Structure 1
Amino acid sequence: MAKVNKTELEQLRGIDAAAILPRLVDYAKADPSFVPISGEPTTRWHVTAQGRNFELLLTGPKFYDTRQKRGGGAQLIL
């Protein structure tokens, strides 16, 4: 696998999680009834990956697992 330079890495870390999530998991569906509390463009997703179910809040490259009460940014680890 080729090395990634710093510029490419920053671009990859900035990818919108909602855009890439459906390509990484077995099942992903955005919840159209979700209304975020904050003014940020957050979406809620119901996800199945490797037989496990998740409920994720996604804002840009950041995510928050509502069941584990953990989140992060620039990467999705399921």
Structure 2
Amino acid sequence: MPRHTFVSPDEISELRSLPLLSVLDGLDLYWTKDPDFVPKKDKSSIRINVSLGNDVRELVLTGPKFFDTRDEKFQGGGAIDFVMCLKKCSFKTAVAVLNKFNR
């Protein structure tokens, strides 16, 4: 019988607030910051390229929010959504992945 682990709302909130670049490093993904990107609205926005096997995603990050410049379905807010999009996994799996490297 599968064992269910309870994750408190405070833990979920903490995981969601993890910095997205730290999440990329924790997932051991290769990424580079685009030095030529000039944000139009929010000056804190950055554009990065993330290597996912044979695929490369061009993402714009603004705080906890992200979107893929080439795929409008690839967007969200917070580290849990970020992992779900990058790893194409469920909420439960994303929480487990983040918990592993956030301890």
TM over 0.5: yes
How many residues align structurally?
78
Stretches of structure 2 lacking an aligned partner (at least 5 in a row): 87-103
Query: Residue 39 of structure 1: which of 37, 42, 58 is its match?
Result: 42
TM-score, length-scaled by structure 2: 0.65
Over residues 14-44 of structure 1, what are the superposed CA-to-partner deviations in whole Å (9 max), with x where a residue is unaligned?
1121222233253101112211101341110
TM-score, length-scaled by structure 1: 0.83
**Matches of 1:52 and 1:67 in 2, distance apart?**
12
Aligned to 1:18: 21
More strand by share: 1
CA RMSD of aligned residues (A): 1.8
Seq. identity, %: 36
Stretches of structure 1 lacking an aligned partner (at least 5 in a row): none
Aligned to 1:61: 64
More helix by share: 2
